[in-house]
Amino acid sequence: MEFQLPSLLVLIPILLGLISSLNTLLWFLNWTWTNFLRPPKDLKGCYGSWALVTGAADGIGRAISFELANRGLNLVLLDRDAPKLETTAKEILHGHDVEVRTLVSDLCVDREDELVRKVREVIEGLDVGVVINNAGTTHRDPLFFDEVDDRLVESIVRVNVEAATWVTKAAVPGMLERKRGVVVNIGSGSASFLPSFPLFAVYSATKAYIHMFTRSISLEYKHHGIDIECQPILDAFSPVASAGFCANFNQELVDSQNHIELEKEKISNLTCLAS
């Protein structure tokens, strides 16, 4: 039987389309299972009985701390606000049968050697298997790079980049000894979902570092029983951003008359902030 060339030319695209559709379907099923159907992991059994959370006194860090306590993990809570930190610790102890230790540290001020020393001292002898690098900061209002105060730039880099790096550095050796652990770095939608993020350039750049840092060391330690991942958030809904973020952003564009043409070109990259 002769094989018709036109039939072959029709069959190949159909097969490729079926393969592509099947691949998409498998991805969707896996995504649905992972996010909605898969039973929660036993963090205490898989990684260890203690968790370290930075920026734990407020916002996302506080919510994460309560959730970890719900799962039976003892907590080391790190924050610069001592009164809020103490309040959070008391509330967790009141409603959960866990141990809580607190570490007051201003990540804008503490140098790397001092931060590593403090963290290692408080976690010494503890089975710290979960580390949440949640602490983060940025400026309140949208600003052009040259308008951001030098000390504020330094603070953003210290908290968002250096603190996450050195806290991880302090915790990983213990995980290596126990051959288990997980580090979760809180990322940002500004670095993972958008091609650029003007007026918050330093902040988004520090979060881009967190993404690459996480991806790289994840490959280094995945064969040692240590999971390392980055969880991006939408910053307009986090305490890092001001309550009037969207309104301030739009107002800044209107007031920046000298740069209005430039902003018209860039605003298409930021439309998600209006939702």
| pLDDT value for 34 | 82
More confident residue, 245 or 176: 176
Residue among 187, 184, 185, 182 nearest 197 (CA): 187
| pLDDT value for 2 | 53
Residue 259 neighbours by CB under 8 Å, 6+ apart:
144
Q: Which two tokens stand for residue 3?
A: 């094989």
Q: Assess whether pLDDT exceeds 60 at residue 258.
A: no
| pLDDT value for 29 | 94
Q: What is the pLDDT of residues 51-102, one digit of tens each?
A: 999 999 999 999 999 999 999 999 999 999 999 999 999 999 998 999 999 9
Q: State the pTM of this model.
A: 0.78
Q: Provide the annotated active-site residues.
A: 203
SS3 call for 106: coil
| pLDDT value for 149 | 94
Percent of the chain with pLDDT over 90: 68
41-274 maps to which CATH number?
3.40.50.720
**Between vectors from CA 184 to CA 101 and to CA 28, what angle results, nearest 5°?**
140
Q: What is the pLDDT of residues 189-224, one digit of tens each?
A: 888 888 888 999 999 999 999 999 999 999 999 999
Residue among 186, 196, 198, 271 nearest 229 (CA): 186
| pLDDT value for 238 | 53
**Residue listed under structure tokens 């998409």:** 24
Residue among 115, 102, 133, 105 nearest 206 (CA): 133
Polymer length of the chain: 275
Q: How far is CA 216 from the centre of its chain?
A: 15
Residue among 47, 114, 55 nearest 74 (CA): 47
pLDDT band at 266 (very low <50, low <70, confident <90, very high): very low
Rg (CA), the chain: 23
Share the mean pLDDT of the chain: 85
Phi, psi (deg, nearest 5) at residue 180: -165, 155
Local structure of residue 39 (DSSP, 8 states):
P
Distances (CA, A) of 73 to 7, 43, 51: 62, 8, 6
Which sequence spans correspond to the domains of the chain? 41-274
